[in-house]
Amino acid sequence: MNKSSELTPTRLRELRGFAAAARLLNFSRAARVAGCTPSVLSRRIAALEQATGSALFLRTTRRMTLTARGEQLLAYCERLETVMAELAVNLRPRSGELAGRLCVHLPASYGRTCIAPLLAQYMRSHPQVRIEASYDDTYVDLVETKVDLALRVGKLADASLVARRVGTMRRYLCAAPDYLASAPPLNDPSDLKQHRCIAFSNLRTGTLWQFMRQRQRRSVRIEPVLTCNDSQAVRDAILAGVGMGIQGDYMADGLVAEGRLVEVLTDWPPSSSPIHLVWLPGADRAQVVRSLIDFLVQALTGQ
């Protein structure tokens, strides 16, 4: 067999990096998603192009698009991602069809955007499983609410829970081009005092926006012109030019790539947050809970 065609761990990393770049059409952002530097991502894609014998991207000084071969490879990558996620569930001994009920708690916007499609995919493979899913940004006690599995964004406060990290949410300070056209200069976090800001009320730090540069941290107390308890409402207000606000990467990446939003203060990005699956000790002894954990870990991390 030609070794260049084998799906080795290195080749899988190359394919994941390519898929991220193909979706975002931006190497810097794709590198963040792939967990590597832009130069490493470039080398991985170059290796794929050498393996396929074809260019995967058309690059100019102003834009980047997929070639026909690149579009074909992206379609294969998406099929592979689906198969790998399903394989994580199916590669386990069975005494019969998996069945049972479980309750999951998910952040509202991130859960609807990123996790709901995965739950649907999981349930197609396990039609006898029944899931009660709650989508909201409140902190819930897993014992009192009888939640089997939760996903939490941010620093974990309860050390009694079992946790499995499945990602990092990067946040961007964004604004619409129309707003920036007539807005005051913004070169430093302190300049936010002169801007119209839109706040997400469920952000743990509230109106105290925190920014990081290397190991330096800067905090700015904003006075929002609009406060929302729904991150999608914040996004819609930013798009409408009401002001600028903080958005998670899962919502902002595509809009920035399309030019509908502009990332600002790129030297001082807002603090990022870890993403964890959490459950009570012993909860994963139930086969249906363990199965869903394994499926989500595979789908979100590729491991």
- Among 63, 79, 67, 90, residue whose Cα is nearest residue 15: 79
Q: Which amino acid is at 56?
A: L
CATH no. for 3-90 = 1.10.10.10
Handedness of CA 49, 50, 53, 58 (dihedral sign): positive
CB atoms within 10 A of CB 240: 12
Q: What secondary structure, in 3-state letters, does 261-300 show?
A: CEEECCCCCECCEEEEEEECCCHHHCHHHHHHHHHHHHHH
CA distance 260 to 205: 27
CATH topology for 171-271 is: D-Maltodextrin-Binding Protein; domain 2 (3.40.190)
Give the helix/strand (H/E) hosting 237.
helix 231-239
Question: Do the domains 171-271 and 100-168+274-301 match in fold?
Answer: yes
Answer for the pair 21, 30: CB distance below 8 angstroms, yes or no.
yes
Distance between terminal CA atoms of the chain? 26
**Residue 236: pLDDT over 60:** yes
Domain ranges across the chain: 3-90, 100-168+274-301, 171-271
DSSP state for residue 230 in the 8-state scheme? -
31-55 pLDDT, tens digit per residue, is: 887 888 889 999 999 999 999 999 9
Q: Which of 7-11, 15-19, 88-92 has the lowest mean pLDDT?
A: 88-92
Answer for the pair 162, 279: CB distance below 8 angstroms, yes or no.
yes
Answer for the pair 269, 171: CB distance below 8 angstroms, yes or no.
yes
**Residue 100: pLDDT over 50:** yes
CA distance 252 to 195: 20
**Residue 102: pLDDT over 50:** yes
Q: Which amino acid is at 207?
A: T
- Among 172, 192, 198, 200, residue whose Cα is nearest residue 272: 172
State whether residue 96 is helix, strand or coil: coil
* pLDDT confidence bin for 57, thresholds 50/70/90: very high
CATH no. for 100-168+274-301 = 3.40.190.10
159-202 pLDDT, tens digit per residue, is: 888 999 999 999 999 999 999 999 999 999 999 999 999 999 88
Q: Which amino acid is at 146?
A: K
CA distance 205 to 47: 43
Is residue 259 packed enough to be buried (19+ CB in 10 Å), middle (13-18) or exposed (0-12)? exposed
Handedness of CA 258, 264, 268, 272 (dihedral sign): negative
260-279 pLDDT, tens digit per residue, is: 999 999 999 998 899 999 99
Give the helix/strand (H/E) hosting 73.
helix 68-90
